[in-house]
Amino acid sequence: MAKVVGVFNVAHSPFCYMAPENWENVRSNRPPYRSDVPIDDAETNKAKAERVQVGFRTVKEKLAESRPDVIIVFGDDQNELFDFNNHPSISVMVGESFSGRTPSGGMGGLGGAPGTTAPTEAPPQQLVKGHPGLSTHILMGLLASGYDPAFMIELPKPDRGMCHAVMNPLTSLTDFSIPVVPLLLNAYYAPQLTAQRCYEVGRSVRQLIDSYPEDLRVAVVGSGGLWHTPGQEQSQLDEEFDRQGLEYLAQGDIKAWAFHFDSYQVAADDLSQTNKGRGTTGLPTPGGPQGGTRETCNWIGASAVAEGRPHTVVDYVPIYASPVGAAFSWMIEA
């Protein structure tokens, strides 16, 4: 039978892959941040960039220590695979393989997000092995459990490749030799999944892993977050909100983390979280934080696979130039 060997969560912000001396240049090209967002000096930015790399290295070492045969990545798509012609709430990649751009190709694969510069030429794509057996088992199991996931045998936009929410953590944590199952949650575009629903997906995925008949060691990766509202007016960073969520993660109380997330009330004057402008739908939202902050739900879904197990939070790095709360955590099951 398959078994979960660990859960590993990492940020995937373009700032994690960018030289710190360029951070403030990006900030200067974005709409003005809220006045209470600090401006770090060059030395502080360099120190934070080093902490980010320590976070990646630590999680990479722990992932290797868990010796996985396959990795499931909980991520989200930002109009790289899907668009507003049809944007699924849940999608599973069930193909034999897929490919995508690595962060070295420019800005973490975003190539044109607000405040970034797209590469002049499309970089080559990295080939990644899938695991059709486990991915199909998860797809069919979710359907039988009352979810309605979409599926991909081939990528909808082969020229863009797999989304950065999958490719960035794979670049940072692996050598691309381990088969991967991308499980994508719509964390970004209203109407999004709630954190509670992502928690439920994670619990269901755990049951499906446990019921898979092949002898597999399965690692789970949560990608993205934490707090960030890139490209929005009056962007800010709610460090207290993030740190409270990470406390729940450290305790292994992922259900409480989901409740904490969904209970957040956006202030009426908080322009950074309005569902208007570039890259938004204008449709009703389910509540809770908006914008990139909802990638926290990828962590919640992934971590729910190991509900009740305490996690080690490696670091929380507030990068004010973005602004984003870049965090790193790991949990290895005995």
Nearest residue to 326 via CA among 198, 181, 168: 168
Q: Where are the domains of the chain?
A: 3-332
The amino acid sitting at 127 is L
pLDDT of the residue at 109: 39
114-134 mean pLDDT: 75
Distance CA 275, CA 285 (A): 8
Q: Can you say whether the dihedral through the CA atoms of 156, 160, 161, 165 is positive or negative? A: negative
| pLDDT for 108 beyond 50 | no
| pLDDT for 111 beyond 70 | no
| pLDDT for 322 beyond 90 | yes
Q: Fold for 3-332, please state it.
A: Protocatechuate 4,5-dioxygenase; Chain B (3.40.830)
pLDDT of the residue at 123: 74
Distance CA 219, CA 206 (A): 11
| pLDDT for 122 beyond 50 | yes
| pLDDT for 253 beyond 50 | yes
pLDDT of the residue at 265: 95
Residue with tokens 């009056």: 234
| pLDDT for 334 beyond 80 | no
Strand partners, 83: 86
Contact between 16 and 295 under an 8 Å Cβ cutoff? The reply is no
CA 311 to chain centre: 17
| pLDDT for 310 beyond 60 | yes
pLDDT above 90 covers what percent of the chain?
88
Pairing type for strands 70-75 and 217-223 reads parallel
Residue with tokens 């979280």: 273
Distance CA 70, CA 129 (A): 10
Geometric angle at alpha carbon 324, from 188 and 98, rounded to 5°:
50
| pLDDT tier at 280, thresholds 50, 70, 90 | confident
296-304 and 195-211 are packed helices; what angle lies between their axes, rounded to 10 degrees? 30
| pLDDT for 113 beyond 50 | no
pLDDT, tens digit (0-9, with 9 covering 90-100), for 133-173: 999 999 999 999 999 999 999 999 999 999 999 999 999 99
Distance CA 157, CA 39 (A): 38
The mean pLDDT of the chain is 93
